[in-house]
Amino acid sequence: MRPAHLLVALFVGAGVPLAGQPSHAQEANGATALTVAVVKPVERQWAETVPASGWLKPWHEAIVASEIGGLRITEVLADVGSVVSKGQPLVKLAQESTLAELRQQEASVETAKADLAEAKANAERARKVQGSGALSDEKVNEYLIGEQTAAASLASAEAVLEGQRIKLDQTTITAVDDGLITSRSAQLGAVVSSGTELFRLVRQQRVEWQAEVSARYLRSMKEGLVAAIDGPGGQRIEGKVRLIGPTVNTDTGRAIIYVTLPTDDNPPSGLYATGHIELQTTQALTVPETALLFRDGLNYVFTVNEESRVKRVRVETGRRNAGEVEILSGIDVSASVVKSGGAFLSDNALVKVEGEAQ
């Protein structure tokens, strides 16, 4: 064998690549790093939002109290958590003494009616003989005045009787409005006094969000704006601005916005909730949140060029909604953005775009 041929054979046996033939390392450098899916940024109409947080409180709270005193509770017909209707009986008081006073006053009315009948008869006779000399003028006036006095006495007795009937009605204490009972202090057998609180209820079961917002947004606030809160279990609850607080807290620099919530989705009052208030609709350039890569406190996305190589691009983000994020700067609508998996990519890496031909 010639010396030159012998040298080539030795190199090949040793695994040394010959000039002009690609090595395994070179093949690896040209290999596809990852198969990726790409998306185009989408222009959407999104509402500009104001962050807010605050307590869920009753829209109006009503107090059910006794209007009469000195009577014993004989029945308690509702409890905490009961949903009641306006006029529904909640508590009954002992009626014995009230009924006795009512019957006594009914008798007084009958007596007053008899006195009036007698006075009318006397006055009628006096009118017939007036001026004839059969009765003196003094006596005639006495009969006429007696008639008026008896009529007034009857009216007074009837008014007292009506008061006794009202007092009897007040021995049954009813709900002042539709609502949900949140507090009960009525105890069976207790003797109540006038004005004693027995129940407290949320009127019409309406709970509202008293949302605190920064004072700098007050000029943009108006009644009827849509507000959304993150309810229990991540449930989204939408409401509308009912009232804008007229003052700003000097300690926090925040104002209260009263938001009416729908009664069918009302969460329990007493919770602290966060959410936002939607001001106006503006255009937003968005990509999926999965496309974002967060490194060193900055946000990046990977874009794919015509040569199927990726480039890491820093972006500024804005609003987020339903898995989408607004891109304020860094890319435009023509970019091809890697949808997910950016953590496994490096700058200028060669990729295969999902859906492209082999």
- Token digits of residue 217: 């947004």
Q: How far is CA 99 from CA 113, 155, 164, in A?
A: 21, 21, 8
Q: Which CATH number fits domain 49-60+205-280: 3.40.50.300, 2.40.30.170, 2.40.240.20, 3.40.50.1110?
A: 2.40.30.170
Same fold, 49-60+205-280 and 100-163: no
**Enclosing H/E stretch for 54:** strand 42-58
Question: What is the rounded distance in angstroms from the CA atom of residue 278 to the CA atom of residue 241?
Answer: 10
| Top-confidence residue, 291 or 12 | 291
Q: What is the Cα–Cα distance from 26 to 21, expressed in whole angstroms? A: 10
Burial class (CB in 10 A: 0-12, 13-18, 19+), 106: middle
The answer to whether residue 164 scores a pLDDT higher than 80 is yes
Domain 100-163 class in CATH: mainly alpha
pLDDT tens-digit readout, 20-53:
444 443 344 445 568 888 889 999 888 788 889 9
Q: Which pLDDT value is given to residue 83? A: 93
pLDDT digits (tens, 9 = 90+) for 198-243: 999 999 989 999 999 998 888 889 999 999 888 777 778 889 999 9
3-state SS assignment for residue 326: strand
Q: What is the CATH number of domain 62-94+171-204?
A: 2.40.50.100
Give the residue extent of every domain in the chain: 49-60+205-280, 62-94+171-204, 100-163
Of 222, 209, 217, 207, residue with least CA distance to 248: 217
